[in-house]
Structure 1
């Protein structure tokens, strides 16, 4: 594991600190009038989700961890466990469905996701950036409502509520950004 100085920590870095794996969420470099400079780092635990604020001086050494990323294909869900197949070795693994959190409804059959591993432990999963969904229900367009950024509520076929432009109708396929969980464009 490479060790980095405390002032080299960047948002998104994964660190081994106090026996846990942490992702740096926010990093602020502080230069007080008296004393040495330090990095104020807000970290989130990858295993249990707890948060921690820590100060690192430039002389402090921290272990930077590299996670192994593997593409996995989603097969099916069984009793709250998601079953995936490794696209290279064809091994099947089971992961808890709460690993995706609020993005779980966007997981579709046969979808390829990226799972990040530390040794053999799956820590996080990322969906493709854009997913195609169908509008299950929405209000009809109101004539004359052409304001630049007017949106109307809609429910997707997976049950997620989003806001869509007025020209999008029921039964249309739309592309959703899985990072922001917002409408992106028509499919």
Structure 2
């Protein structure tokens, strides 16, 4: 059991038989009434994120989620295959288990695969990934000083807003939590 006062980003809890990860939390002490904890929690299996408030001091079941470093190999239809880098064992995950993580996956990329009760339930991406720009409008001379942005399609099919000086073939760093452009590599 874990108290809601001990909730932190990344902690996994079990609520109504489902496993959730705390994405964001805030302890609120209103001037009138009891204190509470406002959280954003993500359903590990479906990827759905929603807000939920808990009374301060409320007890929750802590979900023991094991994380294992694995390498993404390939996809076949809506099944994605990952390999344990130590035992070379391969495990399949279906598209529904991965949520938005599919947009950031490249072959041979290392990710954390999460297991709950011995069953794989999803993946945890690194904080940022480096992807190549495959399609974007060309920047024109003088555009770089304006600080504008334009859409760019990356090698995985993800579309992000990038500065005007980014061209096709450039490799950029993208934040996997927000899906925003960070820098050119």
Give the TM-score, by structure 2 length: 0.80
Deviation at 1:50, TM superposition (A): 7.3
- Farther-moved stretch of structure 1 (157-166 vs 106-115): 157-166
Deviation at 1:92, TM superposition (A): 0.9
CA contact (8 A) 1:155 1:162 kept: yes
Q: Decide which of 138, 141, 165 is 2:139's aligned counterpart.
A: 141
- Farther-moved stretch of structure 1 (144-153 vs 33-42): 33-42
**Structure 1 residues 182 and 33: alpha-carbon distance in aligned structure 2, compared to 1, 3 A threshold:** closer
Counterpart in the other structure of 1:53: 52
SS in 2 for 1:143: coil
CA contact (8 A) 2:134 2:168 kept: yes
User: When the two structures are aligned, how many residues end up with a matched partner?
Assistant: 184
**Structure 1 residues 95 and 32: alpha-carbon distance in aligned structure 2, compared to 1, 3 A threshold:** same
Deviation at 1:6, TM superposition (A): 3.3
Residues 11-63 of structure 1 show CA distances to partners (whole Å, capped at 9, x for unaligned) of: 432112333322334444344566643434454433344757353342x3322
Deviation at 1:121, TM superposition (A): 2.0
Counterpart in the other structure of 1:130: 128
Structure 2: which 5+ runs fail to align? none
Q: Quick check: which has more Rg, 1 or 2?
A: 1
SS in 2 for 1:175: strand
- 1-side partners of 2:150 and 2:124: how far apart? 28
Report the aligned-residue RMSD: 2.7
Counterpart in the other structure of 2:168: 170
Residues 56-75 of structure 1 show CA distances to partners (whole Å, capped at 9, x for unaligned) of: 342x3322223211011111
Give the TM-score, by structure 1 length: 0.80
- Farther-moved stretch of structure 1 (173-182 vs 42-51): 42-51
Residues 134-182 of structure 1 show CA distances to partners (whole Å, capped at 9, x for unaligned) of: 2222222222223352122222233322222222222223333323222
CA contact (8 A) 2:113 2:123 kept: yes
